[in-house]
């Protein structure tokens, strides 16, 4: 259900995820911590580059809110000429 929320947020920006996973044993500097891993597909990465995005192309946020904040900070690839 939460992966769908992430896909929907990306779709509103004209973007597609190549991979969305929730890892209960993600390695962090302080040990193991659960978290979301989201990686964009190549076309979405290119659309963000074309739109001037200088942020990360994958997210490893520990919460769904962190992932949604990462997506909210992205430019809209549709208005930048990307196809989604």
Q: Where are the domains of the chain?
A: 2-72
Q: Please report the pLDDT score of residue 42 as a whole number.
A: 94
Mean pLDDT score, 68-78: 91
Q: What percent of the chain has pLDDT over 70?
A: 82
CA 58 – CA 80 distance, rounded (Å): 20
Q: Who contacts 42 (Cβ-Cβ below 8 Å, separation ≥6)? A: 18
Q: Tell whether the model's pLDDT for residue 63 goes beyond 90.
A: no
Chain segment 12-40, per-residue pLDDT in tens: 999 999 999 888 776 666 666 678 888 89
- The phi, psi pair for 64, rounded to 5°, reads -65, -35
Query: From CA 54, how far away is CA 32, in angstroms rounded?
Result: 28
Q: What is the pLDDT of residue 69?
A: 94
């Amino acid at each position: 259900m939460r992966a769908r929320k992430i896909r929907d947020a990306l779709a509103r920006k004209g973007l597609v995820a190549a991979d969305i996973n929730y890892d209960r044993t993600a390695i962090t500097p302080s040990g193991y911590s659960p978290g979301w891993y989201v990686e964009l597909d190549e076309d979405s990465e290119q659309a963000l580059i074309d739109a001037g995005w200088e942020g990360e192309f994958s997210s490893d946020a520990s919460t769904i809110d962190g992932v949604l904040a990462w997506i909210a900070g992205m430019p809209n690839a549709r208005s930048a000429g990307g196809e989604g």
